Every structure is written in structure tokens, then in C-alpha cells.
Amino acid sequence: MKLHIITIGKPKLPYAIKGWEEYWGRLKHYHQVRVTHIADKYNDAAHIIEAAGHSYRVAMVIHGKQFSSPELAEFLAKRELNSKEISFIIGGPEGLPQEIIDTADYRWSLGALTLPHDLAMVVLLETLYRASTINASHPYHK
């Protein structure tokens, strides 16, 4: 499966950089993964749409659908059937532009808690990795 992680900005705090690198490395064992870090000053719909191209767009928003790990694994398994790249889009500290939210194919929430921007990026990679281990019948998720 092809995954594209699109973020406004890069992880900046030491714990987030380390977490990003850890789960990025793990996730690449299960999928073709690429990342686009868009500079903070370009947190606008045009730059995000350009980065996402014609992929299946998942907007990471606080009011989106929440998944358990097995539910996320099922979501990924279903999306894999159409062979289209999936872009997971995390906005900047102020969130995503409304146009991106409105035109997303799916809206996913990591939960009702407000997470620091750097932490949200790490949590996204970890949850995708965990769901991937479930789909591959590997024991990490337990």
C-alpha cells in the first residue's frame, strides 16, 4: 500500500524527532511510504492540494471519525483494495484550512484531546504502524 504523510512543518522537539524516526522506520517495512513536510508559511489549501495530488485524502481533524486500532486496520485493508495512494494530512498548530477539511475523502480524529503538533505527527505514524502489524498478524499490537 502507498501511504503519503503530509504535514505542515516537521517535528521540532527532540522527543518528537526521535519518535518520528522510530515509527517512520518501522512503518516502511509494511508500506511504500513517503512524506511531504510543507513549510509553516505555506499552510494553505493550494499547497496541500498540490502535495496530495490525486490521492485518497484523509484530513486529520479533531471532529473526525475515531478508530480503535482494529478498526483502523480494517479501514486500511479496505483502502488497499483500490490501490490508490492514501494521503494523511496534518495541519499546522492552527489546524487545516477549511477547504481541505471540506474536500477530504475522509476525516479522521486521533481523539478529542488536543495534542501538541509534534506529538500528533508521532501518534499518526505509531497508529498506522500498529494497524499495519494487526493486518500482518504480527504481535506488536497486543
How sure is the predictor about 142, in pLDDT bands with cuts at 50, 70 and 90? low
Report percent pLDDT > 70 for the chain: 99
- Nearest CA to 91 out of 39, 127, 128 is that of 39
- Rounded distance between C-alpha atoms, residue 106 and residue 19, angstroms: 25
The answer to pTM > 0.85 is: yes
Q: How many domains does the chain have?
A: 1
Q: What is the mean pLDDT of residues 53-80?
A: 95
How sure is the predictor about 37, in pLDDT bands with cuts at 50, 70 and 90? very high
Domain contains 15: yes
Domain contains 126: yes
Domain contains 142: no
Residue-number span of the structural domain to which 90 is assigned? 2-136
Do 30 and 136 touch, CB atoms closer than 8 A? yes
Domain contains 131: yes
Cβ partners under 8 Å of residue 119, min gap 6: 16
Confidence (pLDDT) at 74: 96
The dihedrals phi and psi of 15, each to the nearest 5 degrees, come to -65, -35
Domain contains 45: yes
How sure is the predictor about 83, in pLDDT bands with cuts at 50, 70 and 90? confident
pLDDT (tens digit per residue) in 40-55: 999 999 999 999 999 9
Confidence (pLDDT) at 19: 97
Alpha helices in 36-116 (DSSP H): 45-52, 69-80, 98-103
- Nearest CA to 69 out of 121, 127, 139 is that of 127
Domain contains 86: yes
Confidence (pLDDT) at 114: 85
Confidence (pLDDT) at 34: 96
DSSP-based three-state secondary structure for 120: helix
Q: What is the mean pLDDT of residues 5-31?
A: 95
Domain contains 141: no
- The CATH number of whichever domain residue 93 belongs to comes to 3.40.1280.10
